[in-house]
Amino acid sequence: MDDHSFDEQLIRAVGGDNTLVTFPTDATSIPSFNRDIPVLPKAIAVPQSVDQVAEIVKCAAAAGYKVQPRSGGHSYANHGYGGADGAIVVDLAKLQSLSIDTVTHNARIGAGARLGDIARFLYTKGRAMAHGTCPDVGLGGHATTGGMGPASRQWGLAIDQVVAMQVVLADGRVVHASHSDNEDLFFALRGAGPSFGIVTEFVMRTQPAPTQAVQYEFVCESTSPVARGAVFKAWQQLAGDSALPLELHTMVDIFEHKVVVSGTYFGSRVAFDALRLPARFPESQGVWKISDALDWMQLVDGWANHVLREFGGGMPRAFYAKSLSFAPRTLMSAHAVDALFHFLGTWSRTRGRLYLSFHVGGGAITDVPAGETAYPHRDTVFWGQFAVAGMGSVSASSKDFVSCMVSIITAAMPDGEFGAYAGHVDPSLASPQKEYWGLNLPQLRQIKAAVDPLDVFHNPQSVPVLEGPGARVVATEGDSSCVDKA
């Protein structure tokens, strides 16, 4: 089939409306979330129904093209634009249906719906759902990779709220997946979704919207490695406390000039005060700000404002990021923390904006066995993200600095096993599939061979069909001598 014939067939797949298909000729014209990794797909199709999604997949597969879905478009490596040049992107922006069952309170949500819109809709029904804090993230990617958020210690990850899915397979069939229907596929889609199909609709469990909560923030304005390290040590001790109440969410963001501990307590001010949280941090190192939240949407808006203020929200930019999971056996020693903050002190702001972010896990997340979903990191105490952002492309030396931060930590625990989060795509990983899916990878490969043997749903780090020559390997990890630089 020549290109012209394929283009015509793709347009027919969306009902003959040529405004729903674009054939980009320049990667810079695509509003990629990460501008440091330009990707030029063969075509971007915007279906208006599940039937059109199925027709697009059948058309692309018959012509030998790889396919990847896009919902919110927040993929760190632009896998939402195919992950590599020449793929067919299925943009789910028009699949934004929202409804709720008044008896079960389960919500039926189109895969293209954004988290902010979902939260507002559910709140009108007096309901809420566990999800992340960036309002323009699409549910399609969020609820097929993991989806951690402030309420996760109480309710679990976004993937744990999934009751059922409607999914288009590589052969164009539309099937349903749940605990009782296509169970293997349901397992795979909750943590490794983009490798197995295009989820077009979710049935999600919801909870009564909280009616009271407390938001808190502790800001340490300092460039001193000692002062900054002391705040992080106190936070890690808090995050690793086995008695930490499920109602408490906590995180710490580290920038060149400050450290910010913040979070939400889902309960009364009296109960929060009884935790005596300020007493767990160096009193002389920072300033506390504590406020009551009157309703769920005030919380959601507050989280979104934090993301916008500190990280620029969903604005496209050039950046390089790595993630690391910390289990009870791989928490940082005092020596590792000191080495990390000493190394951070050598950063020059002329190289871009550097930040580290750590989010607590545990609670209800650990209630789900590691083998029940493709997402395997159930014992993670907290996740760390290490990133540098700039206006243009990120320099090699800046990327090396980020890799060195991670190496300093992992070198202090040579026998520890660290994982990476599939939702924070990292092109530099030597064995991404192993780090994303761990012990679940063999089972995922078997399911891949059964439902997508021709690897139609492919990106550079997707679950491979075969081992050996069929497995895909990308660039190696950063400089192994980084620990010496600390």
Q: What is the pLDDT of residues 9-21, one digit of tens each?
A: 999 999 999 999 9
User: Residue 78 has what pLDDT?
Assistant: 60
Q: What is residue 475's predicted lDDT score, i.e. its pLDDT?
A: 30
**C-alpha 285 chain-centroid distance:** 31
pLDDT of residue 485: 46
pLDDT confidence band for 48 (50 / 70 / 90): very high
Helix (H, G, I), strand (E, B) or coil at 315: coil
Phi, psi of 43 (to 5 degrees): -155, 155
Q: Which of 38-52, 72-86, 176-190 has the lowest mean pLDDT?
A: 72-86
- Least trusted range by pLDDT, from 26-30, 124-128, 163-167, 178-182: 26-30
Is pLDDT of 389 > 50? yes
From-to residues of CATH 3.30.465.10 in the chain: 98-208
- pLDDT computed for residue 476 by the predictor: 30
Amino acid letter for position 346: T
Give the integer Cα–Cα distance in Å for 394 and 396. 7
Of 460 and 52, the one with more pLDDT: 52
Confidence of residue 486 (pLDDT cuts 50, 70, 90): very low
Q: Is the per-residue pLDDT at 357 higher than 60? A: yes
Complete edge-to-edge strand list for the sheet that includes strand 43-45 = 21-22, 43-45, 88-91, 67-70
Strand partners, 241: none
Specify which of 149-163, 271-285, 454-468 reaches the highest per-range mean pLDDT.
149-163
pLDDT digits (tens, 9 = 90+) for 265-277: 999 999 999 999 9
At residue 33, the pLDDT reads: 76
CATH architecture, range 212-294:
2-Layer Sandwich (3.30)
Q: Where in the chain is the domain with CATH 3.30.70.100?
A: 212-294
Whether the predicted pLDDT of 334 surpasses 80: yes
Which comes out higher in pLDDT, residue 440 or 478? 440
Q: Which positions ≥6 away from 237 have C-beta within 8 Å?
A: 280
| Confidence (pLDDT) at 473 | 32
Predicted pLDDT at 99: 98
Higher pLDDT pick, 436 / 295: 436
CB contact at 8 A, 195 and 441: no
Please compute the mean of the pLDDT values over residues 458-471 and round it to a whole number.
73
Residues 181, 97: Cα–Cα separation, whole Å: 23
| Residue 25: other Cβ atoms inside 10 A | 7
Under 8 Å CB-to-CB from 89, ≥6 apart: which residues? 41, 43, 44, 45, 67, 68, 69, 70, 80, 81, 82
Q: Is the pLDDT of residue 471 over 70?
A: no
What is the pLDDT, as a whole number, of residue 311? 64
Q: Across the beta sheet with 287-293, what order do the strands follow?
A: 287-293, 213-221, 258-265, 248-255, 353-360, 382-390, 318-326
User: In the prediction, which pLDDT does 158 show?
Assistant: 97
Q: Is the pLDDT of residue 468 over 70?
A: no
pLDDT tens-place string over residues 391-428: 778 889 999 999 999 999 999 988 888 999 998 888 88
- CA 416/CA 410 separation, integer angstroms: 7
| pLDDT tens profile 84-96 | 789 999 999 999 9
**Class assignment of domain 98-208?**
alpha beta
* pLDDT per residue as tens digits for the range 50-81: 999 999 999 999 999 999 999 987 675 566 66
Residue 211 has pLDDT above 50, yes or no: yes
Q: Name the residue type at position 239.
A: A
Percent of the chain with pLDDT over 90: 77
> pLDDT, tens digit, for every residue of 238-256?
999 999 999 999 999 999 8
pLDDT at 450 over 80: yes
To the nearest whole percent, how much of the chain has pLDDT over 70?
91
Question: What integer pLDDT is reported at residue 39 of this predicted model?
Answer: 86
- Amino acid of residue 85: D
Give me the mean pLDDT over the 201-208 stretch. Answer: 98
| pLDDT for residue 484 | 46
